[in-house]
């Protein structure tokens, strides 16, 4: 495909060269002349002053190249051909002149200014803006001179020809045909790629069609065709069109390069620098709009040169290093355009002949470049299509391989699954045994904590019951003696012998009553009975508190009075209270709360016991320590506060107190499960525990329970 394309382009290039070369008119073919030049830096030199100057420098080059200069240049021409000058014109083959004045200086010193022969263009229906001057028929080739005043803010390259009218008409007609051929190629490429953009929706195409349009506008501006078809001569667009469209072409061709070569992926570092290059081109456009035409033209030439190097370098790297095949067309297209640009410049410096072929060499190579880039875009689509097909084929092969592997692996996996299942079953059995052991251990630990609490409770109850029992046992013996005395008196009254002296017998009994002090005995009996009664009451109270605390029906949720539970707890721990401890009770009016009574009483017991322990372990005891127990009802919730004036806790300890087995007590004094059990019981009741503590000041536990937990 690429070889055929190369042969076609070679044939096209050679055919155009042959056609243009056959019809070209070389310098001096019709009328020979000699020229001398003078640069007027001030730009104020008049024709009269120029005629008197003897500072003209001879210039025998076919193309006079003044470069980029602000100066006004004068060219003095002497016709050396002795042929009669009939129907002869002088043609300045440069359409981008700002000033072009033509003067004929006769031998007698008279000067006549000649205007552009506008009728010449209209007569032969020519499209270009032409600087054609008619040489008068009375021109004396031996004595008369021609002076031309020229100025340009762009590159001032001046090809001057003196032709017969017939020869120049042939030249212009061929150039118009070339212009039409070039325009046709550009329009076809524009429409073709615009259609492809709407078909494939690839952004590269829209950048490319804009680039085609801008290249075409810049080329026809250089040749002078825009004056006839688009905007008037010496308008702002006419003066600045070449620089403006060239810079816009630089911007869009750079964006096209980024999109086509995918520089963001293939060359990410270069992609950033290309963005800077685009910014410079836009800045040059702003410079042009601000009126700095000559500076903008110089920068445009530099940016164009740098842009060509960037494009070729990126295309070379992406094609040869990244193996992106469509970049080959891109590299070839830019190489042809660069070669054409070099050859085009060489003709301005007289290295190559100045003829119709070299004049249109840039348009020829740009046409070839446009076609090659169009092929590159098409190849890009084919490349991605091939890549997609290759990827699909690889995916299909991979899928087939996967199916084969899956079939093979299924067999292996089934065996492994069976083995793993057996291992898991064995592990599950082991875990079940371990879980049962853990449950047994947990149950034993909880029982141990209960037994520890029960031991403390039993010791307290034994001491509490011992006191009232002592009341009873210590009063029984005196009561027995007093009752015996009373029984003795009763017996003596019963033994009175009515047959004997009754008075003497009664007097004896009275003496006995005085002897035992009957009044004292009666008072003592009352006192002893009162002590026994008090002991019985206190014993009954302890039994009642114990019965209330134990709650054998603890597995059922029942509405209970929490104040009663708190009171029972205080009765049972009364024996453990140190002498300097004052218990402050502030019980509010509480509704009955649905809960497990035994569990809640266990919470109270653990918290109160911990509070008493915290006070006892203080190194420095105050004269009076406090245990404050409060209860209140708010927002459908019951709150209970148990606050001590003990040693308090650090933040680290406070965050760990509910962890199982964590304890600050000495080894052997606790299991570390008390507060963990408290937390689990309150959590089971969907309640909340808040802990407030400060080292050295004490700790407060605030319990929150819902009246009707859901």
How many Cα atoms within 13 Å fall on the side-chain side of residue 298?
A: 8
What secondary structure does DSSP assign to 657-679, as a single string?
TTSTT---SPTTS--S-HHHHHH
Residue 97 lies in domain: 31-175
CATH code (residue 637): 3.30.565.10
pLDDT of res. 631? 94
Does any domain span residue 543? no
Task: Give the pLDDT band (50/70/90) at residue 552.
Answer: very low
Domain boundary among 175, 191, 223: 175
CATH code (residue 59): 2.60.40.2380
Residue 599: name the closest of 637, 630, 560, 543 by CA.
560
Q: Would you say residue 172 has pLDDT above 60?
A: yes
How many Cα atoms within 13 Å fall on the side-chain side of residue 202?
A: 18
225: which DSSP letter?
Answer: -
More confident residue, 21 or 625: 625
Does any domain span residue 650? yes
Does any domain span residue 79? yes
The 10s digit of each residue's pLDDT in 189-207 is: 888 778 877 877 778 778 8
pLDDT of res. 547? 57
Pairing label, strands 625-634, 581-587: parallel
Question: What's the CA gap between 2 and 18, in Å, rounded?
Answer: 24
Task: Give the pLDDT band (50/70/90) at residue 18.
Answer: very low
710: which DSSP letter?
Answer: -
Question: What's the CA gap between 75 and 99, in Å, rounded?
Answer: 13
Count of domains in the chain?
2
How much is the average pLDDT of 25-30?
40
How much is the average pLDDT of 88-105?
82
Q: Would you say residue 17 has pLDDT above 50?
A: no
Per the structure block, which two tokens stand in for 571?
């009765």
Tally of helices (H runs) and strands (E runs) in the chain: 19, 17
How much is the average pLDDT of 299-320?
84
Per the structure block, which two tokens stand in for 321?
């290093």
Decide if 366 contacts 308 (C-beta within 8 A): no
What secondary structure does DSSP assign to 230-257, as a single string?
TS-TTSHHHHHHHHHHHHHHHHHHHHHH
Burial class (CB in 10 A: 0-12, 13-18, 19+), 217: buried
Domain boundary among 140, 160, 175: 175
How much is the average pLDDT of 638-645?
92
Q: Would you say residue 628 has pLDDT above 90?
A: yes
Does any domain span residue 194? no
Pairing label, strands 558-560, 593-595: antiparallel
pLDDT of res. 5? 40
Bridge partner list, 688: 704
Task: Give the pLDDT band (50/70/90) at residue 7.
Answer: very low
Residue 242: name the closest of 300, 178, 159 by CA.
300
The 10s digit of each residue's pLDDT in 477-519 is: 777 777 887 888 888 888 887 877 788 888 888 888 778 778 7
Does any domain span residue 649? yes
Per the structure block, which two tokens stand in for 217?
């506008």
How much is the average pLDDT of 389-418?
78
Decide if 383 contacts 324 (C-beta within 8 A): yes
Domain boundary among 154, 175, 196: 175
Question: What's the CA gap between 97 and 308, in Å, rounded?
Answer: 27
Decide if 663 contacts 657 (C-beta within 8 A): no
Crossing angle of helices 236-261 and 268-289, rounded to 10°: 170
Question: What's the CA gap between 167 and 173, in Å, rounded?
Answer: 10
How much is the average pLDDT of 300-323?
84
The 10s digit of each residue's pLDDT in 669-681 is: 555 677 888 888 8
The 10s digit of each residue's pLDDT in 560-583 is: 888 888 888 887 777 778 888 899
Bridge partner list, 100: 150
- Cα dist from 88 to 133, 493, 700, 707, whole Å: 9, 190, 122, 123
Crossing angle of helices 293-320 and 326-348, rounded to 10°: 140
Residues 6+ apart with CB under 8 A from 539: 465, 468, 469
Question: What's the CA gap between 527 and 511, in Å, rounded?
Answer: 25
Q: How many CB atoms lie within 10 A of CB 120?
A: 19
pLDDT of res. 214? 86
Does any domain span residue 415? no
Which strands form 63-68's sheet, in the order they lie side by side?
Answer: 63-68, 155-164, 88-92, 131-134
Does any domain span residue 693? yes
pLDDT of res. 385? 67
What phi and psi values does residue 178 have, to the nearest 5 degrees? -65, -40
Q: Would you say residue 303 has pLDDT above 80?
A: yes
Q: Would you say residue 463 has pLDDT above 60?
A: no
Residue 573: name the closest of 534, 535, 532, 602 by CA.
602
Residue 615: name the closest of 586, 640, 648 by CA.
648
The 10s digit of each residue's pLDDT in 280-297 is: 989 999 998 998 888 888
Question: What's the CA gap between 444 and 454, in Å, rounded?
Answer: 14
Does any domain span residue 14? no
pLDDT of res. 20? 37
Question: What's the CA gap between 565 and 554, in Å, rounded?
Answer: 13
* H or E segment and range at residue 210: helix 203-223
Bridge partner list, 39: 73
Residues 6+ apart with CB under 8 A from 679: 658, 689
* H or E segment and range at residue 398: helix 361-494
Bridge partner list, 587: 631
How much is the average pLDDT of 54-65?
82
> What is the Cα Rg of the chain in Å?
61
pLDDT of res. 548? 55
User: In b/e form, how buried is each residue of 168-186, taking b as 16+ CB within 10 angstroms?
Assistant: bbebbebbbebbebbbebb
């Amino acid at each position: 495909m690429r070889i055929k394309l190369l042969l076609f382009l070679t044939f096209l290039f050679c055919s155009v060269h042959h056609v243009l070369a056959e019809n070209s008119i070389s310098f001096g073919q019709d009328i020979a002349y000699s020229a001398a030049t003078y640069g007027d830096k001030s730009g104020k030199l008049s024709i009269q002053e120029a005629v008197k100057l003897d500072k003209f420098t001879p210039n025998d080059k076919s193309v006079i190249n003044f470069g980029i200069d602000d100066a006004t240049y004068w060219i003095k021409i002497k016709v050396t051909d002795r042929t009669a000058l009939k129907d002869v014109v002088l043609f300045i083959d440069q359409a981008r002149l700002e000033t072009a004045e033509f003067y004929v200086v006769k031998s007698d010193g008279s000067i006549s200014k000649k205007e552009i022969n506008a009728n010449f263009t209209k007569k032969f229906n020519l499209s270009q803006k032409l600087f054609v001057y008619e040489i008068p028929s009375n021109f004396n080739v031996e004595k008369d001179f021609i002076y031309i005043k020229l100025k340009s803010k762009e590159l001032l390259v001046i090809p001057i020809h003196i032709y017969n009218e017939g020869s120049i008409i042939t030249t212009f007609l061929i150039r118009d045909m070339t212009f039409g051929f070039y325009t046709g190629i550009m329009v076809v490429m524009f429409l073709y790629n615009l259609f492809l953009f709407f078909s494939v929706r690839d952004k590269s195409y829209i950048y490319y069609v804009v680039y085609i349009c801008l290249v075409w506008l810049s080329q026809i501006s250089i040749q002078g065709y825009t004056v006839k078809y688009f905007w008037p001569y010496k308008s702002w667009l006419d003066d600045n069109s070449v620089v403006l469209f060239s810079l816009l072409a630089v911007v869009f061709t750079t964006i096209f390069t980024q999109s086509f070569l995918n520089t963001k992926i293939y060359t990410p570092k270069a992609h950033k620098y290309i963005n800077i290059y685009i910014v410079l081109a836009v800045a040059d456009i702003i410079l042009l709009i601000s009126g700095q035409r000559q500076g903008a033209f110089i920068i445009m030439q530099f940016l164009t040169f740098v842009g060509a190097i960037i494009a070729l370098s990126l295309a070379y790297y992406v094609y040869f290093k990244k193996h992106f095949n469509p970049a080959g067309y891109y590299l070839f297209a830019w190489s042809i355009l660069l070669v054409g640009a070099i050859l085009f410049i060489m003709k301005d410096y007289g290295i190559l002949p100045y003829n119709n072929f070299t004049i249109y060499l840039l348009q020829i190579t740009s046409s070839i470049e446009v076609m090659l880039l169009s092929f590159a875009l098409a190849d890009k689509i084919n490349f991605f299509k091939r890549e997609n097909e290759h990827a699909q084929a690889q995916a299909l092969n991979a899928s087939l391989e996967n199916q084969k592997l899956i079939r093979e692996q299924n067999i292996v996996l089934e065996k492994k699954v069976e083995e793993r299942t057996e291992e898991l079953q064995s592990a599950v059995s082991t875990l079940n045994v371990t879980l049962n052991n853990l449950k047994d251990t947990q149950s034993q630990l909880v029982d141990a904590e209960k037994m520890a609490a029960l031991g403390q409770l039993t010791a307290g109850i034994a001491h509490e019951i011992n006191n009232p029992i002592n009341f009873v046992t210590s009063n029984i013996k005196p009561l027995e003696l007093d009752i015996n005395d009373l029984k003795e008196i009763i017996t003596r009254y019963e033994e009175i012998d009515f047959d004997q002296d009754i008075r003497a017998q009664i007097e004896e009994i009275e003496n006995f009553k005085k002897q035992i002090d009957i009044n004292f005995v009666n008072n003592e009996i009352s006192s002893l009975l009162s002590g026994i009664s008090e002991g019985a009451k206190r014993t009954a109270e302890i039994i009642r508190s114990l019965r209330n605390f134990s709650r054998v029906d603890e597995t059922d949720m029942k509405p209970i009075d929490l104040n009663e539970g708190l009171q029972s707890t205080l009765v049972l721990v009364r024996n453990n209270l140190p002498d300097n401890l004052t218990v402050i009770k502030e019980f509010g009016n509480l509704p009955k709360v649905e809960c497990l009574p035994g569990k809640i009483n266990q919470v109270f017991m653990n918290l109160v016991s911990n509070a008493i322990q915290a006070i006892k372990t203080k190194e420095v005891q105050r004269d009076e320590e406090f245990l404050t127990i409060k209860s209140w009802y708010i927002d459908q919730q019951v709150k209970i506060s148990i606050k001590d004036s003990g040693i308090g806790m650090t933040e680290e300890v406070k965050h760990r107190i509910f962890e199982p087995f964590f304890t600050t007590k000495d080894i052997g004094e606790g299991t570390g499960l008390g507060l963990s059990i408290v937390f689990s019981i309150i959590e089971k009741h969907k309640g909340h525990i808040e802990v407030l503590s400060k080292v050295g000041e004490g700790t407060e536990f605030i319990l929150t329970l819902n009246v009707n937990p859901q």
